[in-house]
Chain A
Amino acid sequence: MTHHHHHEDENMSTGNENAYSRRLFMQQGMVFLSMATTVPSFLQNSAHGIMLPVGSLVTSQAGVPDDRVLVVIQLAGGNDGLNTVVPYGSRDYYNNRSQLAIGAPGNSRSNAGSALSIPGADGIGLHPNLTGLRELIDGGQAAIVQGVGYPNPNRSHFTSTDIWQTGNHSAQGYGWLGKYFDNTCAGKPNPKGSIAIGSKAPLALHGKTQKAVNFETEELFRWAGKSSDDSLAATYDDINRLETMQGVSKDSQLDFLVRTSLDAQVSSDRIRKAVQKQPLVKYPDGQLSQQLQMIASMIRADLPTRVYYASLGGFDTHANQLNSHANLMRQVGDSLNAFQKDVSAQGNGGKVLTMMFSEFGRRVAQNGSAGTDHGTAAPMFLIGDMVKPGLLGMHPSVTKLDEGDLIYNTDFRQVYATVLSDWMGADDKAILGKTYTKANVLK
């Protein structure tokens, strides 16, 4: 077989003919230098990822105002619940965590600091950096649901996250909030319904027909070519703002792309306009804070969005966790505090319910690296004027464990069911596929 000689005679090559490769090859040779320093900042910023969802116009049940908003915050990686809501009255807590245990309020001997007390709670306090959250509890605006989990806990980040996001123990199927929109919008997609912040919309927001709008940062959520040239911008709009085109059949690949592009363009304008406004309060630094500030701005701008989704990573604290977890706690408490003050100052305090969760807590005993490994039950948080403030439910026993792990006492779907039915005015059974006893968390 000599075909290839024949081809070479014709100078055929399926290789890259561009000068690029030759130059690159000469410059780099076989040495792969670290390229970390001059990555364009837009890529660097966004590589850290942020998530936010925007909501929708939904037909509500009778009696439920249709401007109610749900904000979901995911603490990704598995938040250490025992160092968030601290059982300082338990000897076993200290026995299991010689380097990590947080002292009782006023006890200054622990190098992990001393817990903040919770009014009316005995032996249970908050991480010392959760001052922002403590202030919300004092103001009657924050509830902690203790020991939330589900049967046969899964310790994989991915699977457990999917279980929380679908509300289904098999981790299969659509997202619970996607199903909410599927159920309430008569099977029509509602592109204004939910907004997630991040390069991917979380599974929680994916329904059979419902797709979330998602974006990472305001500056990434637009076509960057616009700023350079007006006539380019006009032509770009011609191309990407068409709702339909001649000869494109419904739900073909091209139709799908045209519609997504249109959704992106339309929500880009609204979202960017909304989030460019100065907030009414000062927000601390940090990713979660940035996301919540954007969400507050969108709420203030009266976007017809019912569900927003934000997330913060870094909770997978397998080693030397004291400082990193303390920083996260500071960020979480202060961001929630600023966000709640902001929506209250807007006059929207009664309209916005915030729900915060993590895919699992961590094991009771610390590991050999002054960290903690994947565990099970953990607290969930609800913020807003409508919550029953303070500690709710029972703290899971630190003594009676299941193979070293906490035993949950509230199924997370009990909380979902309450939020769906009592806050969103939806049919929780149709969405969750089963009736769950409501958790008594809202006023």
Chain B
Amino acid sequence: MAGSTLKKFDPKKFDESKAQHLLNRAGFGGTERQIAILAKMGLDKSVEYIIEYKRITDPSPVQSEDFDNDIMRPLTNSERQIVKKARQGGDEAALETFRQERQRRQRADRKQIAEMEEWWIKRLIETPRPLEEKLTLFWHGHFTTGYRTIENSFHMYQQNAFFRTHAMGNFKEDLVRGIVHDPAMIQYLNNHQNRKESPNENLARELMELFTLGEGEGYTEDDIKEGARTLTGYTFKDDAFAFQSRQHDDGVKTIFGRRGQFDGDDFVNLIFTKPSASTFIIWKLYRFFINDLPHGPTPDATKFVGQLASVFKRSNWNIKSVIKAMLLSEHFYDEENIRSIIKSPIQLIVQAMRTINPPDRKKLLRTLSLASNLMGQKLFAPPSVKGWDGGRSWISTSTMFMRQNTLLFLITGQRPDGYAWDADGSKYDAISLLGGRTKSPKQAVRYLLTNVLCNPSVQQEREDALLDYLKTQRNVIDNRTVTGLLTLITAMPEYQLS
């Protein structure tokens, strides 16, 4: 339906298919039962339930004790003295001991980040607050920081917890202001090297280009240089932000034509006076939650983003207000926007785990983290400062097979190297997906197209292909044939869409 806007969606039209769309986009899909309950609750209560997720008890709250903060700790003063002496005295043996200790710590830290990756995948799969994790993933891709650059897993963990805490917080006050004080980000964008005498522009540049305004939107190279001066001395000590006043340039700066003795907090305030501060992040949320726009902005999208940007500005940069308005809007439920986003690798595997109930295969989490990497999305390691490009960039001839084979592995245990099904010994109770009801071939196929492919209106060719497969199995509906149907459905190009 062309012309849909931010106007509220008609609650009478909120049925199972719309509830399913809501769960796919605001989270990672849902079971038939979850969808039915939401549909019964209706539009307003469903959106409220999903958004007010803090009312739902978190069974495994994030605690800093979950991980070791000591692995990459800085050297103590006495250690530093010993190294200094060894250097001066040419004591190679002592230096070698320190080198080996450092290498041991780096190995331990790489092990910890691998555990953290699995920990997050597990959270994504298990959380009763899917929107919280989905937004945490969004912010991770937006305020990109990569482990390979900073080599400090605990700082990655702290940043992840920060995103989760402020997932629906205030964009300006919580998220942007917070991120310029975040040790992982400070290190990733070299702000610990941004000193009065030798400014480093990296954070100042990305703060405007990638985090708030968009490339070249309302600022000049001089604004970057002056902005960098405001952020001098913003560094970290061990695991916490530190302001080094001796490294800070407290002179007068000119930013966006305004003069003052600005510091980094003033810089953030100034950025939010620019028009694109209210639209840039909204476009990004739009591409993540509504439509990834492979051909660029459409007139409807542009109008909708304009309306949503007003809500954003009126709410004083409140993300929750934006998400709520979005999930209640007629545009969100527009047929044009349903099944219009290519699933990220994380969406693909988490949604599969949460909806088709595969068995917990051996080393499942390790396997999923490796598979997501091969599909192009390694958590805590986005490919560059731009994060993940998303959309069609997820798909290549190689990742297409990788996606199909990962689902095949979840469903059957089958590996590309040719071992038998159920090679790891765990059986998949596929038939229970049908809800324990006996179904005719046609009913079974329709049921799976609706609940697994999330696309009951798929082209007739698809339905016919599945029915033909069942015919070769003498139309028996049992664990084996339902497993077969699932491997085929998850190998459909349509399955890549959300």
Contact = CB atoms under 8 A, between A and B. Distances in A.
A94 interface: no
Interface string A225-269: 101110110111011101001111001011011101101100110
Interface in A184-207: 198-201
A261 B461 contact: no
Interface in B335-383: 339-342, 353-354, 357-360, 362-367, 370-371, 373-376
B135 interface: no
A107 interface: no
Given A4-B56, A13-B34, A232 B484 contact: yes
A257 B493 contact: yes
Contacts of B392: 256
Interface centre among A24, A229, A257 (most CB of B within 10 A): A257
Nearest to A235: B469
Given A14-B56, A235-B466, A40 B409 contact: yes
Given A246-B460, A257-B496, A214 B465 contact: no
A251 B295 CA distance: 9
Nearest to B406: A43
Nearest to B496: A257
A231 B122 CA distance: 35
Given A4-B52, A18-B354, A257-B496, 15 more contacts: A1-B52, A35-B118, A35-B366, A36-B366, A40-B363, A40-B409, A223-B405, A224-B417, A232-B484, A239-B462, A239-B492, A251-B294, A257-B497, A267-B397, A319-B99
A19 B353 CA distance: 11
B363 A35 contact: yes
Interface string B34-66: 100110110001001110110110011000001
B491 A260 contact: no
B111 interface: yes
A157 B189 CA distance: 15
Contact of A20 (B357, B370, B375, B421): B357
B370 A200 contact: no
A34 B473 contact: no
B366 A42 contact: no
Contact of A39 (B115, B126, B367, B487): B367
A47 B392 CA distance: 22
Given A214-B397, A223-B404, A223-B408, A20 B127 contact: no
B455 to A, nearest CB: 10
Contacts of B364: 24
Nearest to B416: A224
Contact of B414 (A228, A235, A261): A228
Nearest to A255: B493
A264 to B, nearest CB: 4
Given A219-B417, A224-B405, A228-B414, A19 B357 contact: yes
B488 A239 contact: yes
A14 B27 contact: yes
B129 interface: yes
Contacts of A246: 459-461
B235 interface: no
A15 B358 contact: no
A216 interface: yes
B357 A254 contact: no
A323 interface: no
Interface of B: 23, 27, 30-31, 33-34, 37-38, 40-41, 45, 48-50, 52-53, 55-56, 59-60, 66, 95, 99, 111, 115, 118-119, 122, 125-130, 294-295, 339-342, 353-354, 357-360, 362-367, 370-371, 373-376, 384, 392, 395-402, 404-405, 408-409, 412, 414-418, 420-421, 459-462, 465-466, 468-469, 472-473, 484, 487-488, 491-494, 496-497
Q: List the 7 closest pairs (A to B, CB-CB), nearest first.
A: A15-B128, A35-B366, A257-B493, A231-B472, A224-B416, A264-B397, A235-B469
Nearest to A157: B148
A11 B294 CA distance: 39
A236 B401 contact: no
A16 B353 contact: yes
A232 B398 contact: no
A254 B497 contact: yes
Given A4-B52, A41-B417, A224-B408, A34 B99 contact: no
B396 A214 contact: yes
A401 interface: no
Interface in A387-402: none
Interface residues of A, number: 84
A253 B354 contact: no
B370 A240 contact: no
Interface centre among B341, B342, B362, B374 (most CB of A within 10 A): B374
A222 B418 CA distance: 11
B354 A16 contact: yes
6 contacts: A4-B56, A42-B415, A42-B417, A225-B412, A231-B469, A254-B494
A221 interface: yes
A3 B370 contact: no
Contacts of B417: 40-42, 219, 224
Interface centre among B118, B341, B364, B494 (most CB of A within 10 A): B494
Contacts of B52: 1, 3-4
A7 interface: yes
B402 A220 contact: yes
A235 B488 contact: yes
Given A16-B125, A43-B367, A239-B492, A221 B34 contact: no
B360 A32 contact: no
A7 B41 contact: yes
A16 B434 CA distance: 17
B50 A14 contact: yes
A260 B397 contact: yes
B374 A245 contact: no
Contact of B353 (A14, A20, A238, A248): A20
B137 to A, nearest CB: 16
A369 interface: yes
A20 B410 CA distance: 12
Given A23-B360, A253-B294, A16 B126 contact: yes
B465 A235 contact: yes
B357 A253 contact: no
A21 B472 CA distance: 35
A369 B459 CA distance: 62
A17 interface: yes
Nearest to B27: A14
A10 interface: yes
A196 B238 CA distance: 43
A211 to B, nearest CB: 8
A201 B23 CA distance: 33
B476 to A, nearest CB: 12
B48 A242 contact: no
Contacts of B359: 20
Contacts of B472: 231, 234
Interface string A33-57: 0111111111110110000000000
